[in-house]
Amino acid sequence: MPFVPNTGQTAFGIYDSDPQFAADADKMLDFTFRKLGDPVMQVELTPDNVYEAFEEACLEYSAIINMYQAKSVLSTLLGTPTGSLTGKENKYPNKSLELAKRMAGPFSAEAGVGDVNIMSASIMTSAGTSKYDLNPLVVGTGSFTGGDNSQNPAVFPTGSDGLPLRIYIKEIYHPDPLSAYRFFGTTSAINYLNNEFSFESFTPETIFYLLPIWEDVLRGMQFKMSNKVRRSNYSYDLHHNELTLYPAPQMSIPLFFTYTVAQDPYAPSVQGDTTTDGVANVSNVPFDNIKYSQLNSIGKQWIRKMTVALSKEMLGRIRGKMQTIPIPNGDLTLDGNELLTDARAEQDALRGELKELLEDTTYDKLAAREAQMAADLENIIKEVPLGIYIG
């Protein structure tokens, strides 16, 4: 019975519209029956059984290939649109650093750089009050204890579950005096004047050093903190968002603070960000079944062997229903159990062979092999004698 596309001869009909699959299906029918003993022995299979095994072998080959392709490129595809299954399984994507950037995002945000939303708010302190409980504002209820937050009320968003997100206070300060250029020395009185007047000068004992840039950054942070807190004789202590001012203010003054909000892991990090709804794991990588007509000889030979092994398993199950058949002068013992054992062993061997090949050719293994090859070539070239140049 020749294979007729789109007539229900395969369960899923995924490859029925592929002309090459339809042409090879009839060849696989003859090939499989002959491998199983036809015409010397009767093969208790129908053509549809073989066509079904042929489709299953194609589907399994495609699934294993896609699994290892996803393993190779998953870090590049994470967060990308799932979209439709449009043939991306046979494409080689450009490598990106999106995974590394996504993983490093929380660390850079904690340092106050990169994509981080730092917000600010303020309260009015009360004369004689040194303790201010910020927790009511953290959970989005009430106002500050001992103060009024009506000057610049903080806004605390909620997470995807509707619950308020935790905030982290980064900095507390009040309006600071103008910054002065400061040059600290041990003998010159002009340095003390520079602390009171905003002008710049160099003294005889000024020494210029070549320092790393990070030291300038740290020194700038020290000056900033000095201007905002120390210079005005105020300091503070913050534990669990409970603020204590030292000493207690003698008048009502505005007190500002900056804060960040705990990131909802399933909320967009920036406006328009859709990566949380994109590829999350191998289950939604946009890979479709590989087209049969696009397979090379390596893949088709694997499919032929798997088709025979699957057909042999079906034949073993059929013959296993009846262990013996009565015949004149004795019984005929069927080989159902042997067929099942052989078929399963052949299938396991084929799957193991393919997975071993793919495991050895994932992109990280290829890169490691290239690096080793370059190192080996370098060692070989070192042994090549160099010519002596005579001018």
- Domains of the chain by residue range: 19-96+294-380, 112-277
99: CB partners within 8 A, 6+ apart? 75, 76, 78
- Residue 117: DSSP 8-state: -
Distance CA 255, CA 252 (A): 9
DSSP 250-296: SS--EEEEEEEEPPPTTS-SSTT--GGGS--SGGGS---PPPGGG--
pLDDT in tens, 205-249: 566 667 788 887 887 777 777 666 656 666 778 887 788 888 888
What integer is the mean pLDDT of 315-335? Answer: 73
Q: Supply the pLDDT for residue 297.
A: 95
Q: Supply the pLDDT for residue 30.
A: 94
Confidence category of residue 357, pLDDT binned at 50, 70, 90? very high
In this structure, what token pair is assigned to residue 272? 């328009």
Q: Supply the pLDDT for residue 203.
A: 56
**158 pLDDT above the threshold of 50:** yes
DSSP 163-229: SBPPEEEEEEE-PPPPP------SS-THHHHHTTS------TT-------HHHHHHHHHHHHHHHHT
In this structure, what token pair is assigned to residue 270? 């920036």
**185 pLDDT above the threshold of 50:** no
3-state secondary structure of 131: strand
> Could you give the dihedral angle defined by the CA atoms of residues 164, 168, 174 and 176, in that order, rounded to the nearest 10 degrees?
-140
Q: Tell me the Cα Rg of the chain.
A: 38
Q: Supply the pLDDT for residue 13.
A: 92
- For 187, 239, 297, the CA distances from 308, given in Å and listed in that order, are 96, 71, 17
Compute how many other C-beta atoms are within 10 angstroms of the C-beta atom of residue 111: 9
Q: Which of 105-109, 137-141, 327-331 has the lowest mean pLDDT?
A: 137-141
Compute how many other C-beta atoms are within 10 angstroms of the C-beta atom of residue 115: 11
Residue 363 · residue 72 · CB < 8 Å = yes
Q: Is the pTM of this model over 0.85?
A: no
